[in-house]
Amino acid sequence: MLETRRLKIRKMTEKDAFDLFSMRSNPLLHLHTDTAADKTIEDTLNYIHKMNDGMNQNKWYVWAIELKESKKTIGTISLWNFNEDRTVAEFGFGIHPDLQNQGYMSEVLNSLCRHLFDTLSLTRIEAYTEVSNIPCQKLLRRCGFCQTGTVDDPGFIQNRTFHMMIYTKTNSSVI
């Protein structure tokens, strides 16, 4: 578990299902990603189990983002898509649309980048965001990520092509 001024970043549990369902069932969360909204609480429970199983198998890390004061789970952040020697990985993240633009994700990204660069042998963390997702691009730049490329990603769930911008943050201690 990692704590910031207002948040806890911790492993997801089944107790997070209601809060995460509220977030994951909201269509606004899926505007810029090839994901589908959860239709039932069982969809969310299956997501929690799948993510925790992957963590237990050391495939990825996925954490819940919890407000300290209310103990409400407001989002998730993942580190996945590791390269072969596990020195480069990709962030994925989401926060309930009603709680965006309040500085929570900046707080998470800044704290988690420092922590991950200090504890893992990462040299670089990447994040992909759709060209039309201007708020996410601003967030990544605020957190020290630089745009390093673009890629077109064929969607499978939403049946459209996503025009993605690649943002990168480098571990300054290994340069």
Q: CATH code at 72?
A: 3.40.630.30
Q: Using a pLDDT cut of 90, give the percent of the chain over it.
A: 84
- pLDDT of 17 strictly over 90: yes
**Domain containing residue 87:** 2-125
| Structural domain includes residue 62 | yes
| Structural domain includes residue 14 | yes
Average pLDDT of the segment spanning 10-14: 97
- pLDDT of 54 strictly over 80: yes
| Structural domain includes residue 120 | yes
- pLDDT of 19 strictly over 90: yes
Average pLDDT of the segment spanning 90-107: 95
Q: What span, in angstroms and rounded, lies between the C-alpha atoms of 97 and 83?
A: 31
| Structural domain includes residue 27 | yes
| Structural domain includes residue 149 | no
Buried b (16+ CB within 10 A) or exposed e, 26-62: beebbebbbeeebeeeebbbebbeebeeebeeeebbb
- pLDDT given for residue 159 in this prediction: 80
- pLDDT given for residue 107 in this prediction: 96
| Structural domain includes residue 159 | no
| Structural domain includes residue 59 | yes
The whole model's pTM is what? 0.92
Interhelix angle 17-24/41-56, nearest 10 degrees: 110
- pLDDT of 43 strictly over 90: yes
Q: What span, in angstroms and rounded, lies between the C-alpha atoms of 31 and 52?
A: 25
- State the total domains in the chain: 1
| Structural domain includes residue 60 | yes
CB distance 166 to 128 below 8 Å: yes
Task: State the residue for tokens 């911008």.
Answer: 165
